[in-house]
Structure 1
Amino acid sequence: MLKRAFLPPADALVAFEAAARHESFTRAAEELHLTQGAVSKQIRHLEQRLGVALFSRVRQRVLLTDAGRLYLHEVRGALDHLHDATRQVMSFAGSQDVLNLAVLPTFGTRWLAPRLADFLRQTPQAALNISIRLRPFDFELEPFDGAIHHGDPIWAGGIVEPLFPEETIVVCSRPFRDRHLLAGPADLLRVPRLQLATRPMAWRDWFEAKGLVTDTAFQGPRFEQFGMIAEAAAHHLGVAIMPVFFVEDELASGRLVKLFDGTVEERSAYHFVYPENRALRPVVSAFRRWLTAEARSARLSRESLLPG
């Protein structure tokens, strides 16, 4: 009750955000299908409730005060969160069971998404909400039923199911390979190497595994996601270390070519993680069984998909 006493009406917060964005009560009113007087009244009541001025009036414009700028940052975040929560709840309509998943972006795009239709065919009562998370989080604080995790099989408060280890290869475009005469590992010391921001040691470890010593392993264009690196390599920007299953389509189409024979099995692996208190939910159990079977099948067939 004490917290509720400090909450302004939602309509006033929406009017405040719109007016701040447009720097105009008139344009905010047009957006919200209200009169300019109604927006002005809502802002005035909000300022009275807070006891501070949120805007200063300058000719035909309204400008945020210092207090207004601080408040706008928090209000906009709260409205965005409420918007996302509302859309998520609306997805429950017509479905008996909703599975909320957190996935890694490239894994979700390249590996998981093309296979999800099969899961939904097998589990027609399920609905999916999928969000991006790059790092482990607290299941008590985030509304997820499970997550795809890359790294060590450790997650506080979660049950960890192994999927498959990560196998990597070095790839580039065919024109890039031919132009730079890339015949062996040592040749990669003299060409641009594409770097993944979350795996800064990848090239150093690769060169060390090949018996090569260099102080330039960390040099090269840096990207946030594997998907961006794959596109950069396909457009001749450099060579890249990529998980095999992320570039199967590019290898099959010829957009990328594999350099050198064999793969490198990394120490880290992919896992499905879910909180203990949701382990018995039917949709979680169904997804776990389907996902582990898909991972097993994909690993068994991978060798046949790799050109030498």
Structure 2
Amino acid sequence: MRRKIPSPSALLAFEAAARHGTFARAADELALTEGAISRQIGRLEAFLGVMLFERVGNRVRLLPNGARYAVQVRETLDRLERDSQYLMGQPSDGASLDIATLPTFASRWLIPRLARFHARHPKITVHLAERMEPFVLAGSGFDAAIHFEHPAWTGMRTHRLLHETLVPVCHPALVERGGSLDELPRLHRRQNPDAWQDYAQESGIVLSNPATGARYDLHSMQIAAALAGLGVALVPRLYIESELAEGHLVAPWPAGTSIAKTFCLVLPEPIRLSDGPIQIFADWLISEARSASPSPDLTASPRS
């Protein structure tokens, strides 16, 4: 069945005229004459059976229907442009994967390791995008997700990767000044306001007021603040291994004993894991996670 949509040329002319407020500027942008723009919009109005513009002298003004339609057309054209640029950027002789993940995990753990993956598999391009909450993979456009273990992943295949345990860290200069942990400024993650109180109870360290201190949305912000000497951050150790090894951060206090959360690889179910780029990436990721944290309960088979 033939689609009932206007011509692309008419939509481009309309979007440009709506954005600029004049046919003349739209014509300049699209390298057309003002008359050509006017004719395209006239055809569009005839196709829709709705007036989109009110002509006022040399200018045009969007009518209510035109204003609503302009927003929808602009969003559609923007999405089409993004999708087209995405395909244009794909390797002609390779494959690509779209992976959803958490921003701090991507920047602090995954991306620093991707060079090893690309060195072994140069024809597979890995695209990363931020997704803060669990979602349904089917129909999402993502091949996989790396996220916290969560009941919302029911019906999808999950494989445990890494446990998140929290450790207090700070700039070395902060420790050199002396003073107990209770006397030093503490840095908090806004989404986990009780983390310091829980840590104090686990470790047996007395904190007179665990809730005091600056708050940040992301662990990456906490880490940056700790590196700047602003206080002690309670962050996942897996995010700051290199800073600890290089001496940029120190951890003179005991780590937390409980597991805050567990990262897992999420794949759609059913899926054929016996072939294709997703199997290659999954095998590599699981191997990297095992090397980073060889915990027995992380080597179990995938679960659905």
Sort the TM-score into its range (normalised by shorter chain): 0.7 to 0.9
> Within 2, Cα distance between the matches of 1:202 and 1:28?
55
The Cα offsets for residues 186-212 of structure 1, whole Å up to 9 and x where unpaired, read as 335xx3533244x45434433443566
| Aligned 8 A contact 2:134 2:152 in 1 | no
- Measured on the aligned residues, the alpha-carbon RMSD in Å equals 3.1
Name the structure 1 match of 2:120: 122
> Percent identity, aligned pairs only?
38
Q: Does 1:232 align with 2:229?
A: no
The residue type equivalent to 1:276 in the other structure is: E
1:298 match: 292
Does the CA-based 8 Å contact 2:166-2:260 persist in structure 1? Answer: no
Instruction: Give the secondary structure class of the aligned counterpart of 2:259.
Output: strand
Q: Which amino acid aligns with 1:187?
A: E
Alignment match, 1:135: 133
**What is the CA-CA distance between 1:60 and the residue it aligns to?**
5.2
1:170 aligned counterpart, secondary structure: strand
- Whether 1:248 aligns to 2:241 is yes
Give the deviation of 1:269 after TM superposition.
0.5
1:163 to partner: Cα distance: 0.5
Check conservation: 2:159, 2:265, Cα contact below 8 A: yes
For the structure 1 residues 202 and 53, does the alpha-carbon distance in structure 2 shift closer, same or farther, using more than 3 Å as the test?
Answer: farther
Quick check: 25-34 or 214-223, which moved more? Answer: 214-223
Aligned match of 1:187 in 176, 183, 187?
A: 183
Secondary structure of the residue aligned to 1:148 is: strand
Preserved CA contact (<8 Å) 1:145 1:278: no
TM-superposed deviation, 1:274:
0.8
| Matching residue of 2:16 | 18
Please name the residue that 1:288 is paired with: 282
Q: List gaps (5 residues or longer) in structure 2.
A: 296-304
Q: 1:293 to 1:23 in 2, by over 3 A?
A: same
Distance 1:203 1:64, change over 3 A: farther
TM-score normalised by L of structure 2: 0.81
Contact 1:17-1:75 at 8 Å conserved across structures: yes
User: Hey, what's the Cα distance between the residues in 1 that align with 2:94 and 2:240?
Assistant: 36
Match among 173, 188, 208 for residue 171 of structure 2:
173
Q: 1:21 to 1:169 in 2, by over 3 A?
A: farther
- Residue 75 (str. 1) matches residue 73 (str. 2): yes
Question: Quick check: 1:258 aligned with 2:254?
Answer: no
Instruction: Give the conservation status (yes or no) of the 8 Å contact 2:244–2:251.
Output: yes
Give CA-to-partner distance per residue, 1:236-293, whole Å, 9 cap, x none: 4443222112223333444433351334442411111111233334211111111111
**1:270 corresponds to 2:263:** yes
- 1:75-94 to 2 correspondence within 5 Å? 75-94=73-92
Instruction: Write the distance in 2 (CA, Å) between the matches of 1:285 and 1:234.
Output: 37
Letter in 1 for 2:272: A
Partner Cα separation in structure 1 for residue 259 and residue 202 of structure 2? 11
Matched length? 293
Q: Judging changes above 3 Å, is the alpha-carbon distance between structure 1 residues 284 and 67 closer, same or farther for their aligned structure 2 residues?
A: same
Task: Tell me, in whole angstroms, the C-alpha distance in 1 between the residues paired with 2:207 and 2:153.
Answer: 35
Shift of 1:96: 3.8
- For residues 219 and 71 of structure 1, the distance between their equivalents in structure 2, rounded to whole angstroms, comes to 48
Please, which runs of 5 or more residues in structure 1 have no aligned partner? 302-308
Pairing 1:148-227 to 2, within 5 Å after superposition:
148-152=146-150, 155-175=153-173, 182-184=179-181, 186-187=182-183, 191=185, 193-197=187-191, 199-210=192-203, 217=211, 220-223=214-217, 225-227=218-220
* Alignment partner, residue 301 of structure 2: none
What is the Cα deviation at residue 294 of structure 1? 0.5
CA apart distance, 1:129:
2.6
